Amino acid sequence: MPLKIDKTKCMGCGACITVCPYDAIVMEDGVARIGEYCQLCQACLSSCPEGAIMEKKDEQVAPVEDMADWKGVWVFAEQRDGRIAPVAFELLGEGRKLAAARGAELCAVLFGAAKSEAQELVKWGADRVYYCGDPIFQGFTDEPNAELLSRLISKYRPEVVLAGATAIGRSFLPRVAARLKTGLTADCTSLEIEAETGNLIQTRPAYGGNIMASILSPRTRPQMATVRPKVMKAGRYEPDRQGEIIEVDAEGIRARTKVLETMKAQDDGVNVNLQEADVIISGGRGVKGKEGFEMLKELAQLLNGTIGASRAAVDEGWIPYCHQVGQTGKTVCPKLYIACGISGAVQHLVGMQSSDVIIAINKNPEAPIFSAATYGLVGDLNEIIPLLVKKLRERKDGK
């Protein structure tokens, strides 16, 4: 709940400033003011000797009056170059469970791809697809997407709206939530319906991944959430599944920005699409430098894999950020993840722990990465990786 300071009681002693872990309180004209960095931790509440800090109970949002009119689960299916991003299929898998819990329909929204792609969404589980093929949606820009999705939500009133926590979803979904004056929880790792209320329990890591926070939007509709790619499992593909496609027009929708050129993220000519890789060889501080990553690249080439990294390795400047795996990097789910010289901090684990097979190479037998690993190799990576490379090369050469 938001906090406020009663200016008539504040004596300007600064006790609240001292206890605030986020430096969110400032002194203005001898009176404390809670600023934009407030994380609602409430550490300041009990610190004030005058009792001047209180919860803003009177500013609660009133529940929407027509709560029961909002029905169904929607998935925004983003497309790139006319092809639906796989995260949409994952969200349809999850959306199906939520829709079943509410006895409601599962719908998808698709802007800008060919109409045949809308049929794909039906085969992946959508009962109905709201489709707009207007050319304004061919290259992604925020304004038209935000405008049309807001219009459709206002008209059809879904109870839940899900989208990928991708560059696209992160960019325009907050605009939609702001227009509709509703909540949006980013980067959810699990979604569930609260049986008694129908509220969506949106769970995501908070405070640097140290706790899992369950967030509700009990007074507003729709309930909006984004989920990173590869966090949820895709639903079932049924080639004969039938559904309804509703074509919507983009009348009156304009964009003030234009996409001039799109470039794929590349590093040394290597595609770093970590989220679609089957094999990832990831290096951490234990790799000890850029040269260490050259050794990992050799292994990656032999396994048709790509290179990942811990934040420590990225911060050291050994490898670009586009390779980072974890809470502030990418979430990945390859068939094989080999963690080399990575300790296994929780912020790294949240980005890779759902990989099918995890192999950890670390010289410290107590390293937390081993508790997430399917197989653990305790030893020096500078000895283990060259041996692996040698064995794989021999096998490739048929020796």
For ligand FAD, the binding residues (CB under 6 A) are: 208, 284-286, 310-313, 324-329, 341-343, 345, 347-348, 351, 361-364, 367, 380-382
Could you count the other beta carbons within 10 Å of the beta carbon of residue 4? 15
Question: What is the C-alpha to C-alpha distance for residues 355 and 235, in angstroms, rounded to an integer?
Answer: 18
Question: Please, what is the minimum distance in Å from the beta carbon of residue 325 to ligand FAD?
Answer: 6
Question: Please, what is the minimum distance in Å from the beta carbon of residue 362 to ligand FAD?
Answer: 4
Question: Please, what is the minimum distance in Å from the beta carbon of residue 208 to ligand FAD?
Answer: 4
**CB of 230 or CB of 285, closer to ligand FAD:** 285
The DSSP annotation for 179-196 comes to: HHT--EEEEESEEEE-TT
Question: Please, what is the minimum distance in Å from the beta carbon of residue 298 to ligand FAD?
Answer: 16
Question: Please, what is the minimum distance in Å from the beta carbon of residue 20 to ligand FAD?
Answer: 18
Q: Which residue has the tokens 């899992």?
A: 212
Minimal CA–CA distance to 192: which of 150, 227, 221? 227
**CB of 150 or CB of 347, closer to ligand FAD:** 347
Partnered with residue 131 across adjacent β-strands are 110, 247
**CB of 202 or CB of 324, closer to ligand FAD:** 324
Give the SS3 label for residue 29: coil
Question: Please, what is the minimum distance in Å from the beta carbon of residue 350 to ligand FAD?
Answer: 8
- Cis (ω within 30 of 0) for the bond into 2? no
- Output 144-151 pairs: Cβ under 8 A, ≥24 positions apart: 144/111, 144/250, 144/253, 144/254, 144/255, 145/111, 145/172, 146/172, 146/175, 146/176, 146/179, 147/253, 148/111, 148/248, 148/250, 148/253, 149/76, 149/109, 149/111, 149/176, 150/175, 150/176, 150/179, 150/180
The DSSP annotation for 273-306 comes to: -GGG-SEEEEE-GGG-SHHHHHHHHHHHHHTT-E
Listed in sequence order, the residues at least 6 apart from 109 whose beta carbon sits closer than 8 Å to its beta carbon are 74, 75, 76, 77, 129, 130, 131, 149, 152
Half-sphere exposure of 23 (CA within 13 A, CB side): 0
**CB of 72 or CB of 351, closer to ligand FAD:** 351
Question: Please, what is the minimum distance in Å from the beta carbon of residue 207 to ligand FAD?
Answer: 9
Question: Please, what is the minimum distance in Å from the beta carbon of residue 155 to ligand FAD?
Answer: 39
**CB of 121 or CB of 361, closer to ligand FAD:** 361
Question: Please, what is the minimum distance in Å from the beta carbon of residue 74 to ligand FAD?
Answer: 29
**CB of 182 or CB of 306, closer to ligand FAD:** 306
**CB of 11 or CB of 212, closer to ligand FAD:** 212
**CB of 195 or CB of 211, closer to ligand FAD:** 211
**CB of 149 or CB of 313, closer to ligand FAD:** 313
Question: Please, what is the minimum distance in Å from the beta carbon of residue 305 to ligand FAD?
Answer: 18
Minimal CA–CA distance to 342: which of 317, 318, 312? 312
Question: Please, what is the minimum distance in Å from the beta carbon of residue 373 to ligand FAD?
Answer: 12
According to DSSP, the β-strands at 160-164 and 223-227 are parallel
Greatest Cα pair distance in the chain = 84
* Phi/psi at 196 (5° precision): -70, -35
Amino acid at 102: R
State CA 61 to chain mean position distance. Answer: 26
* Phi/psi at 60 (5° precision): -60, 150
**CB of 194 or CB of 380, closer to ligand FAD:** 380
**CB of 192 or CB of 316, closer to ligand FAD:** 316
Listed in sequence order, the residues at least 6 apart from 83 whose beta carbon sits closer than 8 Å to its beta carbon are 113, 117
